[in-house]
Amino acid sequence: MHTSPATRKFPHMSSFQEQYDDAMFAFSTGDYEDAIAKLKAVLAQDPIHFDAQLALGMAYYRKGDFAAAISEGHKAEKLKPHEQLVHTNLSLFYMKAGDKATAEHHGLQARIASWRADAQHAKTGEAIPPSDPELDLAKPKPQSIKLPSKFPDMPWKKKPPGPSTS
């Protein structure tokens, strides 16, 4: 069996990544109870695994447990306080829990995080990563416009006669 240098250096890495992948598979198939259990196991091994923490909050949300989703969302916020997705999720969780004011607060925090990221990309000269086309909003097709062949006379655009020099 071939092992990568990273796996030889960190033998738990392969099984740990597999645990996380299994948790995400359970999440993607809608088995939120199993996903929650597996994500908790991942976080027991690595309490600062941001992606697992973020996914745990979303799993509780999908299950309909908004209080637990909010609690787990705030744990993700402690890991990355300026992460746009953290605040987007918290906004969603609070909205579903009926707390519109707090939802709007986190919605604003998400927008500010987005601006920060854009400013950071501009400052460093990095290209802004392209968005996933599946996540883009539906855009209407532009209407084709036929220009007139002759424009009407526009007397207000004509220059007035200059002063006569006699």
166 inside domain: no
How does DSSP classify residue 28?
A: H
User: Which range is most confident: 49-53, 112-116, 150-154?
Assistant: 49-53
Q: pLDDT digits over 89-144, tens only?
A: 999 999 999 999 999 999 889 898 888 887 776 777 766 566 556 556 566 777 78
- Token pair belonging to 71: 């609690």
Span 138-158, mean pLDDT? Answer: 73
Q: What is the CATH number of the domain that holds 28?
A: 1.25.40.10
51 inside domain: yes
Measured CA to CA, the distance from residue 22 to residue 135 in angstroms comes to 24
Give ∠ CA 20-118-115 in degrees, rounded to 5.
90
Measured CA to CA, the distance from residue 55 to residue 74 in angstroms comes to 12
Measured CA to CA, the distance from residue 22 to residue 107 in angstroms comes to 31
Measured CA to CA, the distance from residue 108 to residue 120 in angstroms comes to 18
160 inside domain: no
45 inside domain: yes
26 inside domain: yes
2 inside domain: no
Which residue has 């996540």 as its token pair? 135
32 inside domain: yes
Number of domains in the chain: 1
pLDDT at 12 over 60: no
% of the chain exceeding 70 in pLDDT: 75
Domain coverage including residue 64: 12-126
Per-chain mean pLDDT for the chain: 82
**pTM of the model as a whole:** 0.64
User: Residue 30 half-sphere exposure, CB side, CA atoms within 13 Å?
Assistant: 0
More confident residue, 121 or 12: 121
